[in-house]
């Protein structure tokens, strides 16, 4: 596949660049824009971003590979980052990861055949108090996971229904 930015994309990229003192400073938001457009920032997309910004490919590659939020390969529509860092691990993070793998028939690092879901094991997502938890495609957090909650989440996502804002107060404490 050939990746290109059209004239509308270039206008948006110019608007992004205008917000920063140097083109170098615009690297992350332009990579983010490219990921939103193409669904990932594989090597070919990184090359396009570097070329568009007039920056060395090594710089763009370094940024893209440093941050886990940039997908370096094609991913599913919904990327489920399951936290397995210490707090989530102790509270059942691995159990939730394995439940998702069984439910979707794929392992962490893989994508379902229909392209709907990818699962990733994530280091700390910064929500230790809400463990176990996962993040959906670099956006929505789902806290205090249970197998039933994961099952419901998957059924909703199959219908392209994202979860509503969720209280960060654990269910057992909500009526206190």
- In tens, the pLDDT along 57-77 reads 999 999 999 988 899 999 999
- Asked if residue 133 and residue 84 are part of one domain, the reply reads yes
Q: Does residue 175 belong to any structural domain of this protein?
A: no
Is residue 107 assigned to a domain? yes
Q: What is the mean pLDDT of residues 112-136?
A: 93
The count of C-alpha atoms lying within 13 angstroms of the C-alpha of 86, restricted to the half-sphere facing its C-beta, is 0
- Of 16-25, 55-64, 124-133, the range with the lowest mean pLDDT is 124-133
- Both 86 and 161 in one domain: the answer is yes
Number of folded domains in the chain?
2
Residue 2 located in a structural domain: no
* Residue 29 belongs to domain with CATH number: 1.10.10
**Secondary structure tally for the chain: helices H, strands E:** 7, 4
Q: What is the mean pLDDT of residues 132-139?
A: 92
Q: Is the dihedral of CA 83, 88, 94, 95 positive or negative?
A: negative
Asked if 84 and 20 sit in the same domain, the reply is no
**What CATH number is attached to the domain comprising 129?**
3.40.30.10
Instruction: Compute the C-alpha angle 22/27/31, nearest 5°.
Output: 155
Same domain, 119 and 40: no
Q: What is the pTM of this model?
A: 0.81
Look over the chain and give the mean of its residue pLDDT values, rounded to a whole number. Answer: 92
Q: Which residues contact 172 (CB under 8 A, 6 or more apart)?
A: none
pLDDT tens per residue across span 81-96:
999 999 999 999 999 9
> Mean pLDDT across the stretch 129-138?
92
Q: Is the same domain home to 50 and 93?
A: no
Please check the confidence at residue 153 and state whether its pLDDT lies above 90: yes
Domain containing 137: what range? 78-166
């Amino acid at each position: 596949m050939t990746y290109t930015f059209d004239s509308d994309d270039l206008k948006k990229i110019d608007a992004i660049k205008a917000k920063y003192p140097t083109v170098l400073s615009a690297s992350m938001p332009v990579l983010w824009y490219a990921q939103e457009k193409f669904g990932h920032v594989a090597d070919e997309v990184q090359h396009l971003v570097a070329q568009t910004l007039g920056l060395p490919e090594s710089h763009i590659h370094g940024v893209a590979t440093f941050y886990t939020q940039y997908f370096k390969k094609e991913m599913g529509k919904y990327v489920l980052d399951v936290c397995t860092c210490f707090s989530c691990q102790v509270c059942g993070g691995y159990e939730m990861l394995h439940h998702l793998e069984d439910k979707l028939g794929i392992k962490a690092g893989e994508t379902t055949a229909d392209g709907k879901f990818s699962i990733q094991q994530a280091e700390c997502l910064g929500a230790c108090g809400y463990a176990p938890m996962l993040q959906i495609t670099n956006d929505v957090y789902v806290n205090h996971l249970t197998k039933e909650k994961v099952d419901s989440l998957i059924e909703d996502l199959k219908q392209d229904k994202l979860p509503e804002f969720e209280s960060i107060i654990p269910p057992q404490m909500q009526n206190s």
